[in-house]
Amino acid sequence: MLLSQDDINDLKNAKYLLESPGLAAKIVNTFGAPIEKGMEYLPERWEKKVTSLSESALKSGLELAIHTLQFKALQTQEYSNIFHKFCVAASGSVGGAFGLSTLALELPITTTLMLRSIADIAQSEGENLEDVESRLACLEVFALGGTQRADDCSETGYYVIRASLSNAIANASRYIVQTSIIDDTAPILLKLIANIASRFGVVVSEKMAATALPIIGAAGGALINTLFMDHFQSMARGHFIVRRLERTYGQKIVQEAYELL
């Protein structure tokens, strides 16, 4: 089955969003300061700290995805985007004013707000959040925004990342459906969190490095968080456009068309 012209245009838009410059590039364009400069101001063993904070934030996100996303009413998309960006900007201003010591408190709040926005985007593209797999697809978005340092060009494509997470998502989905009392520390769920955190943590480290720059104050922290939110909203829009088209044409046809664009 061939894609209609409208759907081809939607797929082009999705690919543009999914392959647009990452958070680091957006921060550089905004502040004119390279992320590497901010790395110099980070404390020792910051990579281990970022991994821990990322996993903790995603655990909060997983709990939200499991227990409450399916009950969420969709706001209008424009209102949702503005509201959530305002909220993360407010939390970012606290981080900018008080420094990296607040990240452990700010990141789970910001991640939860982003997940709410991602859920709105998912619903606007036809996802049924009563379905566990759709809820976990919202969490999957956090893996799409960054690449591991060991990745090369052949390992960072959208479909490659989805394939690397497919088993973990499928296993987690089955566990949630089959288990009446869900243990958030179950190995199946922890494996999913670890897989997503390995990529989400890269973007968190970029946000952390930018916040560490001496020129960043409350206003700068708010702007960085707005860029952080905007980045994952773009990932979500692209991701759920692709999933919408896959529900119509099947994954194989959409993937082939995506790779040909």
pLDDT at res. 82 = 58
Listed range (31-45, 110-124, 200-214, 220-234) with the worst mean pLDDT: 31-45
Inform me whether the pLDDT recorded for 235 exceeds 80: yes
pTM above 0.75, yes or no: yes
Q: Is the pLDDT of residue 17 over 90?
A: yes
Q: pLDDT tens, 143-200?
A: 997 654 445 444 568 999 999 999 999 999 999 999 877 887 899 999 999 999 999 9
Determine contact, residues 38/219, Cβ cutoff 8 Å: no
Nearest to 110 by CA among 234, 219, 233, 240: 233
DSSP symbols for 47-84: HHHHHHHHHHHHHHHHHHHHHTGGGPPPPPHHHHHHHH
Residue 250, sorted as left (phi over 0), alpha (psi -120 to 50) or beta, turns out to be left
One-letter amino acid identity for 256?
E
**225 pLDDT more than 90:** no
Q: What is the pLDDT of residues 62-94, one digit of tens each?
A: 888 887 776 555 555 554 555 555 555 555 454
Shortest CA distance to 193 belongs to which of 49, 53, 59, 50? 59
DSSP state of 101: G
Q: Cβ contacts of residue 230 below 8 Å, gap of 6+? A: 26, 85
Q: Does residue 250 register a pLDDT over 70?
A: yes
Residue (of 196, 243, 229) closest to 26 by Cα position:
229
| Nearest of 173, 174, 170 to residue 162 by alpha carbon | 170
Return the structure tokens found at 224. Answer: 């960085």
Is pLDDT above 90 for 14? yes
Q: Check whether 19 has a pLDDT greater than 80.
A: yes
The secondary structure element, H or E, covering residue 7 is helix 5-18
Q: Which of 76-80, 201-205, 249-253 is predicted with the least confidence, judged by mean pLDDT?
A: 76-80
Band (pLDDT 50/70/90 cuts) for residue 9 is very high
> Across the chain, what does the average pLDDT equal?
81
Candidate from 25-34, 204-213, 242-251 with smallest mean pLDDT: 25-34
Q: Where are the domains of the chain?
A: 5-260
Q: Which residue has the higher pLDDT, 115 or 10?
A: 10
Cα 198 to Cα 260: distance, rounded to the nearest angstrom = 28
**Residue, of 152 and 105, whose pLDDT is higher:** 105
Residue whose C-alpha is closest to residue 17's, from 255, 237, 227: 237
Query: What is residue 22's predicted lDDT score, i.e. its pLDDT?
Result: 84
Rg over CA atoms, the chain: 18
